[in-house]
Chains A and B, each alone.
Chain A
Amino acid sequence: MRQLPRLLALSALAVGVSCAPAGRSAPHSSSDGSPAPLLVVAPTEPREQTTDQQVRHALDRLGFGPRPGDVARVRAMGVDQWIALQLAPSRIDDSSVDALVASSFETYHADTRELVVLAQAGQQAIRQRARQAAQQGDTANKRELRADALRDDPQLREQLRRARRVVGDVQAVKLTRAVASERQLDEVMTDFWENHFSVYTGKGQTRIYVPAYDRDVIRPRALGRFRDLLGAVAKSPAMLFYLDQFQSTVDSTHTPLRSTRLARMRPAGRARGLNENYARELLELHTLGVDGGYTQHDVVEVARALTGWTMNPRQGAGFVFRPEIHDADAKVVLGHRLAAGRGIEDGEEVLDIVARHPATARFIARKLAIRFVSDDPPAALVERAAATFRRTDGDIRETVRTIVTSPEFFSRAAYRAKVKSPFELVASALRAVGARPDTTPRSAQLVAFLGAPIFGHQAPNGWPETGDAWINAGAILNRINFGLALAGGRIPGASVAQWPDAARLRTAPREQQVDAVVSAFLGGQASPDTRDILIKGENPLASKLAAEGAGSAATPMTESSDDEQMMTMQEGPRGRLGARPALLGRPVQLEGLAQVVGLAIGAPEFQRR
């Protein structure tokens, strides 16, 4: 196509230019096992952003914001080179975060089979005791029975301890990698697809399938081929369970592919018949999009084609195809005829059809452009990205490349136009101070505190990709309090003292502190008002309004004795997440550099990327 002559293969340069020296860790698993080519796209048209802006923009969009020193490193390497490298993550050494993940987060590495056993252990023990108790006329409640069982059985205690860690571990892995991985784009794309193919840990057993979902399903394919990713998701226990596909069976008006032993193959305790839940979301959310031109009839036909796609509870809930419950009659899906008498091929062909549908190319291209460029991305860019998607048979890497090397990506309008999601806010703040990765679940709970628990969106549409949904009065308050907690040293692994500039700046004049913080945290772009406020604590606009008699609402709050009351107030009731007490202990008293950092993270400018 038109772009090909612009691509320069520069793979020979890769080792010399990577952010971290390559070669120590095993190559990143890509679908074909070979390192991805390093294609540097040189701009052919002038870019609206300055060189410095391009560097910061790339770090904010292809990654979770700069760590100390990143801006200088990327500037030295050249932003196009850095982008090319991020698009070829197998060439970036990531052994240090790999080692950290491998040595921490014990349940993340567990086989799903083990997690199934863990999850059932406590319930079985309690059920057994309940039966005994009921026979003896004992009226102990569930909690007492559980306490008894735990007291008597150390192995059960250990199992339950591990079971409780499962969700926290996978959440912490995701945040740790976002904060510490050198393969930032890989992390952004993992986050993107985990949100696109959203599952919810609060729905029954989904929680025990999520570690493998992150580890084996999404992460290895985040920059791979869309059809591969779609197929892996369709066969993952997490999605099979979350969207009920595992219990969808041929309904009574159609013929099963095999009719023997039918009764024994029934999913225990479940109603039989077609379940359209996954089929509908496959079309509406995962591929064509809500306006993608499918009908309710297509939903039913897709659901029929997918009957028999289920999981085997005895083998770690792995994917199995069961001919006994597969609808073997002919179907018509989006105009394609599927012949009668087929088995698993029905579902595979449906995935082929929807993955290659032009509406899917548009839908995915637009959603990617929203993530990378702006909430309302230019139509021409979306069309070019969709064209790449179609031309490359759904190559995610090339589609992303089209977007992040485009003039639209480097336009003035796109610069700092996106509002950070809670995950992006926490990751970017931890990166900005140079935090050590937190191996406890605490930092990940902060993401929940800000309103978006990781793998915690109940409905299958995932968290919003656009900023308006994140911004309301309550959200801003939580974000401000997060910044104060971080600056106050309340977050494990993160403190202002860790920031490499802190030692130099601690005794520097306030103006110098503010300049350094604005550069490191606010992308160097603070309005004169913001800078003034950070320096003096006065709001020029507020005083002007007051002078004009515009009312008292804009007058900064006066100090009150409320601070003292806040110190002595009684403990309120605490919820399940446990993150709030950590953040909302006593009000922090911030001075000097820590105050500037706390203010900066809470400032409007830091909410954008």
Chain B
Amino acid sequence: MKSGAMALVTMGLSPSFLRRTAYGAELLRGASIGGNTRGRTLICLFQRGAADALNVVVPHGEAAYYRLRPSIAIPRPTSAGGVAGAVDLDGFFGLHPALAPMKPLWDRGLLAPIHAVGSPSSTRSHFDAQDYMETGTPDLKSTRDGWLNRCLAVRGTCEAGCAHDAASAPFRAVSMTEQTPRILEGPQATIAMSSLDEFSVRASGPAVDRLEALYRTGSADVVHAAGGEMFEAVKILRAANPRQYAPRDGAEYPASQFGQRLKQIAQLIKADVGLEVAFADVGGWDTHVNQGGATGQLALRLGDFARSIAALVTDLGDRMGDVTILTMSEFGRTARQNGSGGTDHGHAGALFVIGGDVKGGKVYGKWPGLEPEQLNEGRDLALTTDFRAVFSEVAAKQLGAKRLDVLFPGYDGARRDWLGVL
């Protein structure tokens, strides 16, 4: 796609805007060229509302689990009588039965659950905890940019002055959300859209040609340059023809918003538009009331979550060799069920890392136990792995991120505390 004309419209893009932030200036100094890992994609999926980790990755080998949760615990895998039990993984942990669609990923070694992981911050506020997980700086509210945006910069593929592949630049970072999420906020250009259909000029007839021409008058200013890039991106997407997209055989995405958004991420990956990071989120995890056990409210959410991810992995097929999926939720929930058949805001949680390079088939993280003295503040699953240990390892190994001190400022556990999940 590169041509003289593209060079014209991109020459207005300078890294000068990076200098606006302290981090940006730091990145400019530190970003390294090379280490080109183009073609590799990180997909981050945020479960907003604090998913109940103990009913997601179930410690069925832990007696205290069943004492703490008399009516909402997931039965042991061996339990008979038609009641669905946990899908056993390793004799101690199991998946919630609604996550059964993800079991084949475990069997193929693509799925690595991590337990007792989360933010060291003690906050129980959804807002603050999501903020910390997205900025990557627990208990530091003054961070302006999100870690996934910083990740784009510390990859060093473009902004440090290497050849700017304008054709792929617009789709480096795509969030399948209405607004740019906190995790992607920052100086690197990103795109937020609620569906790929939106990424088109909504006019028919000659108006489209004229609009493009208005941005291709040869002016080198930033507005013209961005417009030129946009028309290029629209063409790339049109060539990929998302409306005619047929997922690979066997990939059945749920009709839910989350399922459809994952499908569109798969489309972008398969269209080779240069997608480096993708983001989607899904709500409904704040289960204070009647969350249910093997069936019920949480089970419905998990079913959609699992079928969507399983479809994405099936759809991507061999491309999963280039892709890592990282799930996250702001904190876990109380170990003990509450008076309304639900759970309240807790501390450590669980997340999944999924991909071709993942050393799956093993539950990672040190298990702290659920006896009274083992609980955080006497009520929650204790934290044994800082989420930044997982995020920094994934960013480094999946995307080749170099400056981990810039990626997670103030965090000194990178490399030292990695779990070896990739």
Which residues of A come within 8 Å of B, CB atoms?
A: 126, 130-131, 133-134, 138-142, 145, 202-204, 271, 277, 280-281, 284, 290, 419, 448, 451, 453, 456, 458-461, 464, 466-469, 471-477, 480-481, 484-485, 527, 529-530, 533-534, 537-539, 541-542, 545, 550-554, 556-560, 562-563, 565-566, 569, 572-577, 580, 583-584, 586-591, 595, 598-599, 602-604, 607-608
Interface pair A474/B205, CB less than 8 Å apart: no
The residues of A that contact B305 with a CB separation of less than 8 Å are none
How far is the CB of A499 from the nearest CB of chain B, in Å?
18
Known contacts: A534-B210, A580-B198, A607-B223. The answer to whether A484 contacts B203 by CB under 8 A is yes
Interface pair B199/A139, CB less than 8 Å apart: no
**What sequence of 0s and 1s flags, for each residue 210-226 of chain B, a beta carbon within 8 Å of any chain A beta carbon?**
11111111110111101
Our pick among B142, B212, B224, B297 for the contact of A280 (Cβ within 8 Å) is B142
Our pick among B195, B227, B229 for the contact of A572 (Cβ within 8 Å) is B195
B361 at the interface (CB under 8 A from A): no
Ordered by A's residue number, 28 sampled pairs between the chains whose C-beta atoms are within 8 Å are A134-B290, A134-B340, A139-B341, A141-B296, A142-B297, A271-B122, A419-B223, A451-B180, A456-B179, A458-B131, A458-B185, A459-B131, A464-B20, A472-B190, A473-B189, A477-B201, A485-B202, A527-B217, A538-B213, A541-B217, A541-B218, A542-B213, A552-B3, A577-B179, A580-B198, A586-B202, A591-B205, A598-B207
The residues of B that contact A277 with a CB separation of less than 8 Å are 141
How far is the CB of A298 from the nearest CB of chain B, in Å?
14
Q: CA–CA, A484 to B198, complex, Å?
A: 14
Known: A142-B288, A284-B142, A527-B217. 9 other contacts (CB 8 A): A142-B290, A271-B122, A477-B199, A552-B3, A572-B194, A580-B194, A587-B204, A598-B207, A604-B224
The residues of A that contact B234 with a CB separation of less than 8 Å are 477
The residues of B that contact A573 with a CB separation of less than 8 Å are 194-195, 256-257, 260-261
Q: CA–CA, A271 to B377, complex, Å?
A: 13
The residues of A that contact B224 with a CB separation of less than 8 Å are 604
The residues of B that contact A580 with a CB separation of less than 8 Å are 178, 194, 198
Closest-by-CB residue of A relative to B227 is: A476
The residues of B that contact A553 with a CB separation of less than 8 Å are 1, 3, 5-6, 232
Interface pair B289/A537, CB less than 8 Å apart: no
Interface pair A587/B226, CB less than 8 Å apart: no
B33 at the interface (CB under 8 A from A): no
Interface pair A557/B208, CB less than 8 Å apart: yes
The residues of A that contact B269 with a CB separation of less than 8 Å are none
How far is the CB of B107 from the nearest CB of chain A, in Å?
31
Our pick among B6, B190, B219 for the contact of A527 (Cβ within 8 Å) is B219
Known contacts: A474-B192, A533-B213. The answer to whether A557 contacts B200 by CB under 8 A is no
Interface pair A473/B191, CB less than 8 Å apart: yes
Q: CA–CA, A588 to B198, complex, Å?
A: 14
B197 at the interface (CB under 8 A from A): yes
Most buried by A among B6, B202, B297: B202
How far is the CB of B16 from the nearest CB of chain A, in Å?
8
Which residues of B come within 8 Å of A, CB atoms?
A: 1, 3-6, 8, 16-17, 20, 22, 122, 125, 127, 131, 141-144, 169-170, 177-180, 182, 185, 187, 189-195, 197-219, 221-224, 226-227, 229-235, 238, 243, 256-257, 260-261, 288-290, 292, 296-297, 339-341
Most buried by B among A139, A566, A574, A608: A139
Interface pair B203/A590, CB less than 8 Å apart: yes
Interface pair A529/B218, CB less than 8 Å apart: yes
Closest-by-CB residue of B relative to A579 is: B178
How far is the CB of A526 from the nearest CB of chain B, in Å?
9
Closest-by-CB residue of B relative to A456 is: B179
The residues of B that contact A284 with a CB separation of less than 8 Å are 142
Interface pair B205/A539, CB less than 8 Å apart: no
Q: CA–CA, A603 to B232, complex, Å?
A: 17
Our pick among B192, B211, B231, B261 for the contact of A451 (Cβ within 8 Å) is B192
The residues of A that contact B182 with a CB separation of less than 8 Å are 458-459
Known contacts: A141-B296, A542-B216. The answer to whether A481 contacts B201 by CB under 8 A is yes
The residues of A that contact B208 with a CB separation of less than 8 Å are 557
Number of A-B contacts (CB under 8 A): 251
Q: CA–CA, A557 to B1, complex, Å?
A: 14
Interface pair A204/B127, CB less than 8 Å apart: yes
How far is the CB of B183 from the nearest CB of chain A, in Å?
11
Our pick among B214, B219, B238, B292 for the contact of A139 (Cβ within 8 Å) is B292
Closest-by-CB residue of B relative to A534 is: B210
Q: CA–CA, A419 to B226, complex, Å?
A: 13
Interface pair B203/A589, CB less than 8 Å apart: yes
The residues of A that contact B6 with a CB separation of less than 8 Å are 551, 553
Q: CA–CA, A521 to B288, complex, Å?
A: 53
Our pick among A142, A545, A550, A562 for the contact of B289 (Cβ within 8 Å) is A142
Closest-by-CB residue of B relative to A278 is: B141
Interface pair B226/A557, CB less than 8 Å apart: no
Q: CA–CA, A363 to B238, complex, Å?
A: 46
Interface pair A537/B213, CB less than 8 Å apart: yes
Interface pair A448/B179, CB less than 8 Å apart: yes
Known contacts: A280-B142, A550-B3. The answer to whether A473 contacts B233 by CB under 8 A is yes
Q: CA–CA, A602 to B232, complex, Å?
A: 16
Our pick among A142, A474, A485, A566 for the contact of B230 (Cβ within 8 Å) is A474
Interface pair A476/B226, CB less than 8 Å apart: yes
Q: CA–CA, A130 to B296, complex, Å?
A: 15
Interface pair B5/A551, CB less than 8 Å apart: yes
The residues of A that contact B144 with a CB separation of less than 8 Å are 459, 461
Known contacts: A142-B289, A456-B179. The answer to whether A474 contacts B202 by CB under 8 A is no
Interface pair A473/B230, CB less than 8 Å apart: yes
The residues of A that contact B122 with a CB separation of less than 8 Å are 271
Interface pair A599/B207, CB less than 8 Å apart: yes
How far is the CB of A288 from the nearest CB of chain B, in Å?
14
Known contacts: A202-B127, A551-B5, A604-B215. The answer to whether A572 contacts B202 by CB under 8 A is no
Q: CA–CA, A204 to B127, complex, Å?
A: 8
Closest-by-CB residue of B relative to A145 is: B289
Interface pair B189/A584, CB less than 8 Å apart: no
Interface pair B142/A281, CB less than 8 Å apart: yes
The residues of A that contact B5 with a CB separation of less than 8 Å are 542, 545, 550-551, 553-554
Closest-by-CB residue of B relative to A603 is: B214
Q: CA–CA, A603 to B257, complex, Å?
A: 33
Known contacts: A202-B127, A474-B170, A551-B4. The answer to whether A595 contacts B222 by CB under 8 A is no
How far is the CB of A557 from the nearest CB of chain B, in Å?
6
How far is the CB of B195 from the nearest CB of chain A, in Å?
4
The residues of B that contact A477 with a CB separation of less than 8 Å are 199, 201, 230, 234
Interface pair B297/A141, CB less than 8 Å apart: yes
Q: CA–CA, A466 to B170, complex, Å?
A: 21
The residues of A that contact B339 with a CB separation of less than 8 Å are 131, 134
The residues of A that contact B216 with a CB separation of less than 8 Å are 539, 541-542, 554, 556
Interface pair A545/B201, CB less than 8 Å apart: no
How far is the CB of A550 from the nearest CB of chain B, in Å?
4
The residues of A that contact B142 with a CB separation of less than 8 Å are 280-281, 284
The residues of A that contact B20 with a CB separation of less than 8 Å are 464, 466, 468-469
